[in-house]
Structures are given as C-alpha cells and as structure tokens.
C-alpha cells in the first residue's frame, strides 16, 4: 500500500497545499524528462510477494506485528491486515542468472519467515485468496496499526459520504456483500513484479505490459473462491476494484483500474492524468525537495493494474519502473518466478518489435482480454495482434511463450535459465492446471471444505513443486 505518513486527519488547507505541491512536482517531473535527469540505464527487476499468516486450524492469524518484531528483516514488512505480510527481493539487473538469484533469495526469506511463524504456532501461505477467510475477519480490529491505512480508510469513507462498499461479483456463482471499511482489499494477496527500464523505452514497455496482461494472467490465475462462493478464476480482480472506490459514477471514483488508454509519447501523460482525474486522498505534506514525494504519494493511492512508479536508487538517481500488479501470490515460489519470467520476457519482446503492437491491438481489446482472462483463465478467448481471436491456451503456447524466451535472451538471461522457468508455465498451460484449476479440481473431488482445501494446498506448497505436479 505504499509509504507511511505522519498524520491521519487533514484540513481543507492540507488538501489545497498538497494540490499546489502536486502540480509543482508534476511540472518538475516534466522538466526532468526534458533535461535527461531520469536514468537511461539497463533493465532491473524486483519482486513483492504477499503472504497470509494462518493458525493451526488454517484460519487467518492476526499476528504480523509479533512476526515482524522477531524477524527484524527489512525485506519483510507489514501489509494492510494483521494477518498479511509482504516479502521483498533485492533489485537485480536482468542478465544471466537474475531469475535464479531472485528465487534463491525469496526461498531463503520464506524459510526464515516460516521458521519464526512456526515458533509462534502459525504458518505462512502464498495464495491469492485464502479459502478460510471470513467476512468477519476483514474488520478494522485486524488492520495493521499504520497511519496510512487508518487515514486511507477514513478518506475513502468520507468520499463515499459514509455509504458502505457494495461488492457484487458474478462468476460461476454470485456473491454480494456489503462492507463498511477498506478491509475487503486485505482478502487479495498478490505477487508484484517491478521492471525498471531506460526512460526512453518506458512508453513502449508500459504499453506492452498492458497488452501482455491478459495472456500472462490467464496462465497464472489462483483465486477462484471467496466466502465459499465459486467466482472468477482470478477473483482478486473484481474484488479489489470494487472494494477500494469512492462510490461515484465518474472515472475518478474507480481507484483500481486497467487504465484509460495507451501512452502516446511520454510517461508524463500518466502523471498528468493522475493530477487531473483523481481526487487527492492522503494530503500529507513533505518538506524535503527533489524527491517528488507528493507526486509519489498521490500515485500510490491509484492502483492501476500496471502502474508507473518514479523512484530513486541509493545514490539519489531518479528512474522510472513499471509495477505489474495482476499476478496472485502462489501457488509455489517456482510458479511465481516462472510468472515473472513470462511477464518480463513477453513484455520486452513486444516492446522491442519494429512495429509497436499497440498499433495492432486497440486498447479496448487489451482491456477486454485482461478481464476475460481474470474471469475464465486459460479458457478465455482473447483477441490478438492483427485481429485474430484465439483461446488463451493456444495463444500462450504458440505466441507468448516463444516471445518470452526471445525477450529474456535479448535481455541477457541465460538460455537454460529462461527455458527452465518458461517450461514451468508451458506445463501448467498444457496440463490445464494453474492454481485456480488445482483448487477447483480439489473441490470437485473432495467437496467444498475450505479447511481441507487450505490444508492440502499448504502441504503441496511446502513440497516446493510447481502446481502442475500437485496431487489432488
């Protein structure tokens, strides 16, 4: 959810001053682009994996404060709820063994987290939506005690004029639920890939991320159930979109969105849209200069599924990176790294085609592909470059995976390493068993028992095997 803030209540004066500074920093960012102040270096990627803490009965365990205190690991931080944590990776240049290095680091961090959780009588699970989560668990008493979360909840409620959130998801079954706070968002845990690119390539890579989101999500879905209902293959998508909004009908009310269109000429277009379209939610004022703090905080309250992030390295050099947000946590660490490999390689290939693929696939069709993939997974029908229509499974096997292999090798990733991770995706697609399909298959065989499903999922996850090898 982003950076911490120093207050939870704001006056009209705070909003006016924040807007003034936001406008100034948006112009400052334009100047940085024009003066080449933003880094032109190579491609770097990093990862964030959100996880659930569960007790010995496989229900959510709101103990992240104790876990984090015992860990004292800067790579592991709090999330919105007390039963979630976020594991981060060290950014790595995309070359040779970058993927393997990230997998090894994530596994080491995961083992450390599990060891401490077990000492507390708990366990950690990587899954998009925990089958045992109950609506009653998603309450303010289970919110992590950070100013940012309390302030965000208060501001969203104010924008809705006190009206509750109404979630209505029609999938294989239908779920309608009413909620009074932001905590429904805590039911959605993700695996986010950060891709830093040379600023001159950022427009093409961002548009390629939009185009690639549908096929990549189709291969990776892992969230078919919520509150005992069988919904979308990636139910996180409609849940997050409906859970975090301000209740109106205008575009500014949709804080979680696929976006409004491709970038045309500059990444500056993205931040000007933020300024002009979206209400300010957290008008915290910063006094340091030259770090775009207000622009970055405002951007952090707009959750596009592909989000541009300005950032700074340890030496203070500015860069631009893409945060790819659609992927769910799990089912296994190797599955998540394989998803990252597919996304990075596929995006890079599309971004470096001689003819920009956004000229061959209208934005509306890229958006439709994304929601079709979220709803139906690998069974979705997707429209591809040049107007062809194919099922997601064929598109992945015949187009996306070969493109991803070429893209990774063009970045300098070892051929054997690229092949290893993309083979995980290929087998998942060929067998028809991603995380969502495994969960559905287990329920078809054993009945809908969330406790039994979670226990079996956790046992398979502990094996370290990719999901296409899991037993039902």
Instruction: Specify the CATH number for the domain of residue 406.
Output: 3.30.590.20
Convert the pLDDT of each residue in 183-239 to its tens digit. 999 999 999 999 999 999 999 999 999 999 999 999 999 999 999 999 999 999 999
pLDDT value, residue 2: 61
Q: Is residue 465 part of a domain?
A: no
Q: Is residue 378 part of a domain?
A: yes
pLDDT band at 1 (very low <50, low <70, confident <90, very high): very low
Beta strand pairing call for 44-54 and 256-257: unpaired
pLDDT value, residue 322: 98
Q: In the chain, what are the helix, strand and coil shares in percent, each to the nearest 5?
A: 50, 15, 35
pLDDT band at 425 (very low <50, low <70, confident <90, very high): very high
Convert the pLDDT of each residue in 124-143 to its tens digit. 999 999 999 999 999 999 99
Q: Is residue 5 part of a domain?
A: no
Answer for the pair 201, 42: CB distance below 8 angstroms, yes or no.
Answer: no
Q: Is residue 155 part of a domain?
A: yes
Is residue 249 over pLDDT 60?
A: no
Q: Is residue 191 part of a domain?
A: yes
Q: Is residue 98 part of a domain?
A: yes
Cα 39 from Cα 361, distance rounded (Å): 30
Range of the domain at 187: 12-460
Q: Is residue 362 part of a domain?
A: yes
Q: What's the predicted TM-score (pTM) here?
A: 0.97
Average per-residue pLDDT in the chain? Answer: 95
Provide the number of structural domains found in the chain: 1
Q: What are the residues whose beta carbons fall under 8 Å from the beta carbon of 419, sequence distance 6 or more?
A: 405
Torsion sign over Cα 288, 294, 295, 296: positive
Is residue 250 over pLDDT 70?
A: no
pLDDT more than 70, % of the chain: 98
Q: Is residue 87 part of a domain?
A: yes
pLDDT value, residue 316: 86
pLDDT value, residue 241: 96
């Amino acid at each position: 959810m982003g950076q911490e803030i120093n207050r939870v209540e704001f006056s009209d004066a705070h909003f006016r001053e924040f807007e003034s500074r936001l406008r100034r920093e948006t112009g400052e960012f334009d100047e940085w682009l024009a003066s080449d102040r933003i880094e032109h270096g190579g491609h770097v990627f990093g990862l964030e994996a959100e996880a659930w803490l569960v007790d010995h009965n496989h229900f959510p365990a709101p103990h992240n404060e104790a876990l984090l205190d015992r860990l004292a690991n800067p790579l592991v931080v709090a999330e919105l709820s007390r039963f979630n944590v976020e594991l981060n990776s060290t950014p790595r240049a995309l070359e040779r063994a970058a993927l393997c290095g990230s997998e090894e680091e994530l596994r080491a961090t995961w083992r450390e987290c599990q060891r401490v959780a077990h000492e507390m009588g708990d366990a950690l699970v990587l899954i998009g939506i925990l089958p045992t989560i109950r609506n009653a668990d998603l309450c303010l008493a289970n919110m992590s005690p950070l100013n940012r979360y309390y302030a965000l909840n208060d501001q969203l409620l104010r924008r809705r004029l006190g009206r509750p959130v109404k979630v209505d998801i029609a999938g294989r079954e239908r779920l309608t639920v009413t909620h009074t706070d932001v905590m429904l968002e805590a039911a959605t845990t993700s695996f986010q890939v950060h891709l830093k690119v040379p600023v001159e390539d950022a427009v093409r890579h961002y548009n390629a991320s939009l185009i690639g989101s549908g096929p990549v999500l189709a291969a990776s879905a892992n969230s078919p159930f919520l509150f005992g209902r069988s919904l979308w293959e990636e139910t996180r998508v409609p849940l997050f979109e409906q859970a975090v909004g301000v209740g109106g009908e205008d575009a500014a009310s949709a804080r979680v969105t696929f976006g409004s269109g491709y970038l045309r000429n500059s990444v500056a277009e993205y931040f000007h849209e933020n300024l002009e379209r979206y209400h300010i939610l957290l008008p915290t004022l910063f006094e340091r200069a030259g770090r775009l703090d207000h622009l970055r905080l405002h951007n952090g309250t707009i959750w596009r599924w592909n989000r541009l992030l300005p950032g700074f390295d340890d030496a203070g050099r500015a860069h631009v990176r893409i945060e790819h947000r659609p992927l769910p946590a799990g089912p296994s660490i190797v599955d998540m790294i394989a998803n990252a490999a597919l996304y990075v390689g596929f995006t890079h290939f599309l971004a470096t085609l001689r003819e920009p693929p956004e000229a061959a696939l209208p934005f509306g069709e890229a958006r439709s592909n994304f929601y079709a993939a979220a709803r139906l997974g690998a069974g979705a029908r997707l429209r591809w470059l040049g107007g062809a229509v194919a099922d997601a499974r064929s598109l992945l096997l015949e187009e996306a995976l070969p493109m991803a292999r070429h893209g990774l090798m063009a970045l300098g990733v070892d051929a054997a390493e690229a092949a290893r991770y993309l083979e995980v995706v290929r087998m998942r697609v060929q067998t028809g068993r991603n995380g969502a399909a495994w969960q559905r298959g287990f329920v078809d065989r054993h009945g809908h028992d969330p406790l039994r499903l979670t226990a079996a999922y956790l046992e398979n996850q502990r094996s370290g095997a990719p999901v296409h090898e899991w037993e039902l």
